[in-house]
């Protein structure tokens, strides 16, 4: 059986998912194709109907469709429902089921690459957007001592505290007040796009606000080392970029579609090779 898979987004040209999943299918010895699907917001419902009609086995969903897509699915996994976003759809016997592999993908990568102990940790998350929701939800399952969400619009962060305060010790602060929260942080996680290509000289917080020797994580993987991570390295912090999260969210999606274990090393090599090409 030829697996037909894809990624829906707007834009989608920059996505590394096709390269990664094509390599995964090849490494796993599965015949199939993974294609980019450029879908405008006003065509999303039709595109989802098209998954059924064209016999897609599954798709990834990326910006800006992760929330709206939930309206057009038959079933939503409880964790994805709690997060309020779907990044993976599985087509099973005519039914479309939505999952979110972002948070679990991120945690697996953070633990493997930094040895982070999340239980009892003071964590500061910068940003309260879609990616942030998935990560905060996953982090709360690990029982940190306290988790502070810093966001430009404090009300958005406060909304998350109201929604998920029962899951753990959660607080919100405005971006301009983040300095005192950072002083006691064990782990700082940037979920904003500040510092992402092409604006690679930007940094989400002042370098001198970073405590030395902690873990600093940035969801961005283009560039692999943002200014935030470079500055963190100067302070002897363990640094962590977004490449692992991208690989593992893809690996979990691959496993949901194929029921086979994902060839993670080959997936990582394919994405790294692609990023390498771009910067030379």
Annotated binding residues for NADP(+), written as ranges, equal 127-131, 219, 242
40 is annotated as an active-site residue: no
DSSP one-letter code for 211: P
d(C-alpha 221, C-alpha 62), whole Å: 15
Among the options 66, 143, 145, 233, which is catalytic?
66
Starting at the earlier edge strand, list the strands of the sheet with 122-126.
170-174, 146-151, 122-126, 187-190, 215-218, 238-240
Known binding-site positions for shikimate = 15-17, 62, 87, 102, 221, 249
Look up tokens 């939800």; give the residue: 137
Within 126-263, residue ranges assigned H as helices are 130-140, 154-164, 178-183, 227-234, 243-258
Residue 72: CB partners within 8 Å, gap ≥ 6?
44, 45, 48, 49, 96
Residues making up the binding site: 15-17, 62, 87, 102, 127-131, 219, 221, 242, 249
What is the spatial distance between Cα 99 and Cα 266, in angstroms, rounded to a whole number?
Answer: 23
- In the DSSP assignment, the letter for residue 218 is E
- Length of the chain equals 280
Q: Which residue has the tokens 């962590």?
A: 240
Q: Which helix (H) or strand (E) holds 95?
A: strand 95-99
- Catalytic positions are 66
């Amino acid at each position: 059986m030829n697996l037909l898979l894809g990624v829906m987004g707007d834009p989608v040209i920059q996505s590394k998912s096709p390269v990664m999943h094509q390599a995964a299918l090849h490494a796993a010895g599965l015949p199939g194709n993974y294609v980019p699907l450029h879908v405008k917001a006003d065509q999303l419902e039709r595109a989802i109907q098209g998954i059924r009609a064209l016999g897609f086995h599954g798709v990834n969903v990326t910006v800006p469709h992760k929330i709206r897509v939930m309206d057009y699915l038959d079933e939503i996994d409880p964790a994805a429902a709690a997060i309020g976003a779907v990044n993976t759809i599985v087509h099973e016997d005519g039914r479309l089921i939505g999952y979110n592999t972002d948070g679990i993908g991120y945690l697996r990568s953070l633990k493997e690459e930094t040895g982070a102990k999340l239980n009892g940790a003071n964590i500061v998350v910068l940003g309260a957007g879609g990616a942030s929701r998935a990560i905060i939800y996953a982090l709360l399952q690990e029982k940190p001592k306290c988790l502070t969400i810093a966001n430009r619009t404090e009300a958005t962060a406060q909304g998350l505290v109201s929604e998920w305060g029962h899951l753990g010790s959660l607080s919100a602060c405005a971006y301009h007040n983040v300095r005192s929260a950072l002083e006691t942080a064990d782990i700082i996680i940037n979920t904003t796009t500040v510092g992402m290509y092409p604006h690679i000289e930007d940094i989400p917080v002042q370098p001198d606000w970073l405590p030395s020797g902690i873990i600093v994580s940035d969801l961005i993987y283009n560039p692999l080392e943002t200014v935030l991570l470079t500055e963190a390295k100067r302070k002897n912090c363990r640094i962590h970029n977004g490449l692992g999260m991208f690989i593992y969210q893809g690996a979990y999606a691959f496993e949901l579609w194929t029921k086979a274990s994902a060839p993670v090393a080959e997936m990582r090599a394919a994405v790294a090779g692609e990023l390498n090409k771009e910067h030379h």
